[in-house]
Chains A and B, each alone.
Chain A
């Protein structure tokens, strides 16, 4: 199975500052079609996860442009600019390259 390893945030993050969450995969998620099969989700307290970013850097419909994804085949970063109260929750990266689909353990963002 592909192992997804997420980094921690230096919580709490001051409101209005930027935050970067890292994720590393045990296998390259870059496929021969040129797409990188890495997704980011946010799970707000008491809610279901919601899609933020897919194909490593494409924002999902309705997602604020304060969220941006970048990376290589195995190392990824989710950047959140000007952190707001609604950004609080746990962020998960997920690989969609092969079965079984696997998630990182999650990175918690708390607001100062």
Chain B
């Protein structure tokens, strides 16, 4: 069965960077886009961008240009998102989600990132 297993919670300092992962299983990793979505406490969902693991193509929400960098490792079926120059506004839960046709059919469990000194 399809599973997206995300890495654990992170506590990071302002100004630093963090890289979180999303390990896919149960399907051909290189055949589906992987998307990333941000959810701040008590807030809704915000789309960050996607990567196509088959060729590494990416597309970002303009709002996250320079903030988020998406990569993928085909050998381990793992997608990554690096967030840089972290501030308190980056404290949130981050989900990876697989796109099938025109919707997200499978989601990871989410990673909570807390930015605090």
B27 interfacial contact with A, CB 8 Å: no
* Interface size, B (range): 20 to 34
**Distance in angstroms between the alpha carbons of A55 and B101 in the assembled complex:** 10
A35-B102, A60-B103, A105-B43 known, 5 other contacts, Cβ within 8 Å: A37-B102, A48-B109, A100-B63, A103-B47, A104-B44
Contacting residues, chain B, for A37 (C-beta < 8 A): 102
Q: Are B107 and A49 in contact (CB under 8 A)?
A: yes
Contacting residues, chain B, for A92 (C-beta < 8 A): 44-45
Query: How many residues from A make CB contacts under 8 Å with B?
Result: 22
**Max chain B CB contacts within 10 Å: which of A49, A101, A102?**
A101
Contacting residues, chain B, for A104 (C-beta < 8 A): 44
Minimal Cβ-Cβ distance residue in A for B99: A96
Minimal Cβ-Cβ distance residue in B for A41: B104
**Distance in angstroms between the alpha carbons of A104 and B47 in the assembled complex:** 11
**Distance in angstroms between the alpha carbons of A54 and B107 in the assembled complex:** 15
Contacting residues, chain B, for A41 (C-beta < 8 A): 104
